[in-house]
Chains A and B, each alone.
Chain A
Amino acid sequence: MSELLQQWFPHVMQKPEMFLNALTETLIMVGWAGGFMFLFGLVFGIALTAAKEGGVLACKPVYQVLDKVINLFRSIPFVILIALLMNVTRLLMGTRIGVKGVIVPLVVGSAPFFARQVEAALCGVDRGLVEAAKAMGVSPAGIIFRVYLREGTAALARGTTITLISLIGLTAMAGYVGAGGLGDYAITHGYNYNRMDIVWAAVIAIVLIVTLIQAAGALIARKATH
């Protein structure tokens, strides 16, 4: 096994701790940013759904503002977002570099996309189910938690999968602020020195992470479908 790895990934095996570091950094970034993204995206997605015309707490101004803000942040390319958010990042995290420094832009970059995924997932919940709950005298909060989120679980799981995978794509750019990760590892240590085995190792690791996330998402979606 070890010999085979030496043969196929000579440069990776020279300093395996470097590869493991990069992998850990990616997982930390995806974990933290993913967690906050899920939280904020869910809140904004729910707010969009509830405030929308015909929603349980319909409020046109709130919807309009949220809608525009989400579109604004979705339009800014991630690399530029990192630069734009520098001061905010420093304020919140105490630094604007490293893994810590990239979490804020990652969340801001992915949460609006996730909010749209949540909106789409909840929009897919049959209006009749909402109407039935209203007729039963269920409160707006009850309808959000007991009808929208519960009945939309499978669609939410799929939306989360898609967003997490695109988040992994964003972490590849974390190298710009010295946050490391597999993307940075592949470019600075692999591609730039023409050590293609390093590039391949990073790619394989990312493919494995994506596959795991996809499988977990599919499993949750299946469990939630009866």
Chain B
Amino acid sequence: MNKETRRHSAVVRVTHWITVIAFFALLITGIEIVISHPRFYWGETGNVNMQPLFSLHIPSSRDTVPTGYGYVMPDQNGWSRALHFQAAWVLVLTGLVYGISSLVNGHFRKDIVPARGERTGRAYWEVIAKYLRRAPLDEAEALRYNAVQRAAYLVVIFVLFPLVIWTGLALSPAFDAAFPLAVNALGGRQSARTLHFFVSGFLVIFLVVHVTMVYFSGFRSRMRAMITGRAVLPPEVQ
């Protein structure tokens, strides 16, 4: 029988899967909301009487938006907005639990911040080269994150999620009344909306790469580790 070892703590696993659910809810409802005005602007104001920065060439759920399509999609904004904010609360509160516990128990320091010997361009390149060669993963990979994974997770946890929350909050007129700098620092309301769209896009790119990497490195064993918390040790280290 293969030897098993602990891989992911309960906090990491539970917060990971709650985040997955909340993220999908946010993504789907976010797309629905964009469909009601698939035009993006820069600065404070923007509407159909103004030149957009760019438009998505999709039909809209509002007949006031010129899209070039001869039909209007059904309006889904009501439930989409409600679910978007409810999922955002779930995501933020889950993120707080994960963030605080990871600071306290050393998860960030031990597992997420790139290890001391791996903070060189060369170390990152070695991992990437290994991925490109499709070389078999060494035993350590099943037990700890490599340098590229750590860097990616650092960016997602400390850059993309904070940015997507900030740009999203900047779209709330009441929040902006209390904290005008939140929107002014981004260059205005429409800039905040455009940035919210792009940061969400980066999160989707991360998601696609993340799932692809899980697939290539052993879908079953990685899913098992994130669900049960246990990983089977590779034969060499048993």
Do A and B truly interact?
Answer: no
